Amino acid sequence: MRKTILIISIAFICLNKQAVIAQEVDIYRDSVVQLYGVIMTADSLKAVPFASVVVEKKGRGTITNNDGVFSIAVNKGERITFSSVGFKDRTILIPLKLEGNQYSVIQLLVNDTNFLPATILKPRPTRAQFERDFVNSKIDDDLYETARKNVSMSQKRVILSSLPFDGREAVGASLKQQAAKYYYAGQLAPMNILNPSAWRSFINSWKKGDYKNKK
């Protein structure tokens, strides 16, 4: 009798758990909305190509095509920001009580006008005068020193070491690591302490000052 009650209890718990999981899946499925539409200019109703469509605080989004059309999966209650260079950002809220799983918008962007101070350009009377003034123009020592430091080899090495890999470099590094791993599979990898090429690279780097402390 006890064994029968235990079996019935376990079966009831399993069925109840499956029902809860199915209910959670249905709730999540009902909250997903396919957001689609077109982004246009407010004054001339022209398509805005390559405009950004970003879900706030989620780190995901998309861009419009050449016709200003976009499509992205979002959740109900999320805020969507539309932005493009030269236009003011616009944000919309996906309704929580939206019926169905599709939501279309025609988003109009307003031009973002930036007023800059007036600049008057006056040409030199003659080419000879321009060449004379250009050659004789004096550059401040601070600016010249800054420019010289920015183009120095040591500064270039520092910048290159701090920049992340782009897509091609990242894929190349990953393929090299995989190739080295497969090449020495089942055996011990060689130690570079006995590799003359590694010693030569180390000595050249040491002579260049790559191992000096950078302040």
Q: What CATH number is attached to the domain comprising 50?
A: 2.60.40.1120
- The answer to whether residues 87 and 157 belong to one domain is no
Query: Considering its fold, how many domains does the chain have in total?
Result: 2
Instruction: State residue 83's pLDDT score.
Output: 92
The answer to whether residues 88 and 134 belong to one domain is no
Q: Which of 109, 138, 163 is the last residue in one of the domains?
A: 109
pLDDT for position 3 = 53
pLDDT higher than threshold 80 for residue 12: no
Residue 7 has a pLDDT of 55
- Residue 96 domain-assigned? yes
Average pLDDT for 136-143: 75
Q: Among residues of the chain, what percentage have pLDDT more than 90?
A: 24
Q: For residue 110, what pLDDT is reported? A: 92
Given 62, 77, 109, which residue is the final one in a domain?
109
Note the helical H segments in the chain. 2-31, 127-136, 141-150, 153-162, 167-183, 196-208
- 26 falls within a domain: no
Residues 135, 201: one domain? yes
The pLDDT value recorded for residue 19 is 45
> Residue 61's CB: how many other CB atoms inside 10 A?
17
Domain boundary among 82, 109, 136: 109
Distance CA 95, CA 70 (A): 19
Q: What is the pLDDT of residue 151?
A: 81
Is beta strand 60-63 parallel, antiparallel or unpaired with respect to 52-55? Answer: antiparallel
90 and 63 assigned to the same domain:
yes
pTM above 0.75, yes or no: no
Residue 14 has pLDDT above 70, yes or no: no
Does any domain span residue 42?
A: yes
DSSP for 76-117, please give it. TT-EEEEE-TTB--EEEE--TT--SSEEEEEEEE-B------
Residues 94 and 159 in one domain: no
Domain that holds residue 87: 32-109
Q: What end-to-end distance do the CA atoms of the chain give, in Å? A: 80
